Each structure stands twice: as structure tokens, then as C-alpha cells.
């Protein structure tokens, strides 16, 4: 993406996401990525090499292929007209971010809990978390929801916009393939421990810088909302590395510091207990009202990050002109 056009393409994609969210009736390229992964996995598994090698070939091929296909699409649009290219980039980047859909999904859980529809709340939270939800109580459902809002602020907003700013729509789509691969094959179970190892490691590398950028962004949002910026920043710095993920802990710990709640702890995944450390240990127990506060924090953090990127790109364009 050219610096001269990035200043309006990224805000346009961001605004489009706020307006449209994730309409289920429209075709969605990210869902296509999931279908490609499902369709391609058997072929690579059947290669006569070690599973770790075939998994690496699988991940690298799909990531490179996604970047190449998007690059060709953007170049084709440019040959038609610069405005067609701009429109294509806006649309693709819009598909790569998920501000409104994340807020809508979390608030659907909040409304179900508020109306004491526990079964409905479990069904809705199951759509946005990977843990087992059958035995969760209302506070545990609230914790799961807040954790996914904190984590997906990075996966669904900060990282894709970061890569869009660096490499336009092709790099943003390549990141989404990385993230989708991790969510589908990056598990440490018998089926994917070897095959998904490289995909999970690539996702860790891709999110390393954006996850750490999230800390000052969330801290600024926390300061604006209720003056808790210093506590947010301190909690993220001291407890962010305690998470089993090298990246997710930073944004989740920042949310714990802002909201004054304890996140993390043991959860069941596919019937197996997975012990995870707590984040925000000195803080209070969570409840459903923290879901709305987490959504407000996520929305403001996303807006701040978008503005930071646009301002940075603007000054870079002046400096390089």
C-alpha cells in the first residue's frame, strides 16, 4: 500500500467494519480460508514425509498462496483504475478486521446473562471461545467472554491493521491465513501436535510485535475511560508473560488491570483440564457487567490504534516525499 493512499484506505476499512460488521449473507474471504485449510489438509498429511515437515509445507504454501493471490487481485484492480484498486484494498482490509462483530458477539453473551438465559449464554460463548462451556457458571462465562475480547483485540484488529499498514491488503490477508491456520491446526493435541507445530509458531511470530503494541494502546484507552492507565500498563508488564501463549497474555493482562478483575486459570478443552496461570491475581472476581466494560475498552483501543497508524503513515509520507 502506498503511503499516500494508506491514510484513507485504513480508516475507510475501519469505518466499513463498524457499519457492516460481519454480515452472514455476504461472501466472506476469511471463511474461504477456513474451507481451503480443510480441503488441503488431507493432501499434505498424505505426503511421504514427517508430519512436522508436511505441516510446515502446508502452512507455508497457504500463507504464500494467499499473499500471491491477493497481490495479483490488487494489481489487476490497479490496471482497471486506481479507484478500483483503492476499493479492492478497502474491502479486503475490512474483511480482515472484526471490531463490530467481536463487540456484537460479546454483547450477545452479556444480554443472555442479564436475562438469566444460561443455556443461551453458553451457546453464544461457545461461538467465540475454544474451551468446553457445558459446566461453566455465569461468572465463568463472563470471564471467558472478557478473555476472548482482550485476546481478539490483537488477532482481529491490532495485528491485521498493523500488517495492512506495512504491506497493504496482501500482507493483511496473509496474516489472516496465519491466524486461521493457528485456530484450526495449531493445537497441542495428538492430531495436530506435529502437523500444526509450524503454523502455531508462525502465528506466535506474527503476533509478537502487535501484542506488545497493544499494551500502551489499551493503557491509553483505560486512562481515557476511567483513569486506570498506569494500573493497566503495570499489570500487563508484570503479568503478561505469565500466560501459556507468548502473546495473548499481554492484552488479557491489560484488560484485567483496567477492569480490576482476575482472568485466566484452569479450563477444560475437549474434556481435558488445561492449567493456565491467573492474570490480575490481586483483583476481584468477574461478573457479567465487566463484559460491557471490556467491549467499551476494546472499541476505544481499536479506534486509538487506527488513529496511531494513520498518523504514523501520514508523517512517513511527508518524510519520504
- What's the confidence (pLDDT) of residue 5? 56
Question: Cα–Cα distance between 236 and 256 in angstroms, integer?
Answer: 8
Strands (E) across 245-286 are located at: 263-264, 267-269, 272-274, 278-279
Cell of 217: 494502546
In tens, the pLDDT along 74-93 reads: 999 999 999 999 999 999 99
Question: Cα–Cα distance between 53 and 46 in angstroms, integer?
Answer: 11
List Cβ neighbours of 41 (8 Å cut-off, separation of 6 or more): 58, 185, 195
Question: Cα–Cα distance between 68 and 174 in angstroms, integer?
Answer: 9
Using an 8 Å Cβ cutoff, are 298 and 153 in contact? Answer: yes
In tens, the pLDDT along 137-189 reads: 999 999 999 999 999 999 999 999 999 999 999 999 999 999 999 999 988 88
Taking residue 156's Cβ as centre, other Cβ atoms within 10 Å add up to 23
Phi, then psi, of 243 in degrees rounded to 5: -70, 155
Question: Cα–Cα distance between 57 and 79 in angstroms, integer?
Answer: 32
Domain ranges of the chain: 3-320
197-204: long-range contacts (C-beta < 8 A, 24 or more apart)? 197/52, 197/55, 197/56, 198/52, 198/55, 198/56, 198/59, 198/60, 199/55, 199/58, 199/59, 202/59, 202/63, 202/178, 203/178, 203/179, 204/245, 204/246, 204/247
DSSP-derived letter for residue 168 is H
Q: What is the pLDDT along the chain (321 residues), one digit of tens a residue?
A: 565 556 789 999 999 999 998 877 767 788 899 999 999 999 999 999 999 999 999 999 999 999 999 999 999 999 999 999 999 999 999 999 999 999 999 999 999 999 999 999 999 999 999 888 999 999 999 999 999 999 999 999 999 999 999 999 999 999 999 999 999 998 888 889 999 999 999 999 999 999 999 999 999 999 999 999 999 999 999 999 988 889 999 999 999 999 999 998 888 887 888 888 899 888 989 999 999 999 999 999 999 999 999 999 888 888 877
267: β partners: 274
- What's the confidence (pLDDT) of residue 189? 82
Taking residue 302's Cβ as centre, other Cβ atoms within 10 Å add up to 26
- What's the confidence (pLDDT) of residue 123? 95
Amino acid at each position: 500500500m502506498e503511503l499516500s493512499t494508506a491514510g484513507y484506505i485504513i480508516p475507510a476499512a475501519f469505518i466499513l467494519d463498524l457499519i457492516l460488521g460481519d454480515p452472514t449473507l455476504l461472501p466472506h474471504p476469511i471463511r474461504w480460508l477456513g474451507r481451503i485449510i480443510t480441503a488441503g489438509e488431507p493432501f499434505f498429511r498424505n505426503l511421504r514425509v514427517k508430519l512436522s515437515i508436511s505441516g510446515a509445507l502446508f502452512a507455508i504454501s497457504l500463507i504464500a498462496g494467499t499473499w500471491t493471490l491477493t497481490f495479483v487481485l490488487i494489481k489487476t484492480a490497479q490496471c482497471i483504475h486506481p479507484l478500483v484498486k483503492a476499493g479492492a484494498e478497502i474491502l479486503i482490509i475490512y474483511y480482515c478486521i472484526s471490531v463490530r462483530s467481536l463487540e456484537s458477539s460479546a454483547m450477545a453473551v452479556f444480554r443472555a446473562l442479564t436475562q438469566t438465559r444460561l443455556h443461551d449464554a453458553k451457546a453464544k460463548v461457545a461461538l467465540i471461545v475454544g474451551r468446553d462451556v457445558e459446566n461453566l457458571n455465569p461468572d465463568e462465562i463472563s470471564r471467558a467472554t472478557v478473555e476472548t475480547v482482550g485476546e481478539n483485540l490483537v488477532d482481529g484488529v491490532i495485528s491485521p491493521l498493523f500488517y495492512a499498514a506495512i504491506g497493504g491488503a496482501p500482507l493483511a490477508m496473509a496474516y489472516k491465513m496465519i491466524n486461521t491456520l493457528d485456530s484450526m491446526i495449531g493445537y497441542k493435541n495428538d492430531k495436530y501436535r506435529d502437523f500444526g507445530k509450524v503454523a502455531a509458531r508462525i502465528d506466535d511470530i506474527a503476533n509478537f510485535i502487535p501484542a506488545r503494541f497493544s499494551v500502551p494502546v489499551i493503557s491509553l484507552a483505560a486512562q481515557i475511560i476511567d483513569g486506570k492507565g498506569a494500573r493497566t500498563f503495570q499489570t500487563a508488564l508484570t503479568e503478561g508473560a505469565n500466560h501459556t501463549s507468548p502473546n495473548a497474555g499481554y492484552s488479557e493482562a491489560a484488560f484485567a488491570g483496567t477492569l480490576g478483575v482476575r482472568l485466566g486459570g484452569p479450563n477444560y478443552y475437549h474434556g481435558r483440564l488445561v492449567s493456565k496461570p491467573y492474570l490480575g491475581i490481586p483483583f476481584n472476581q468477574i461478573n457479567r457487567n465487566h463484559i460491557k466494560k471490556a467491549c467499551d475498552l476494546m472499541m476505544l483501543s481499536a479506534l486509538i490504534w487506527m488513529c496511531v497508524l494513520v498518523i504514523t503513515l501520514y508523517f512517513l509520507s511527508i518524510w519520504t516525499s
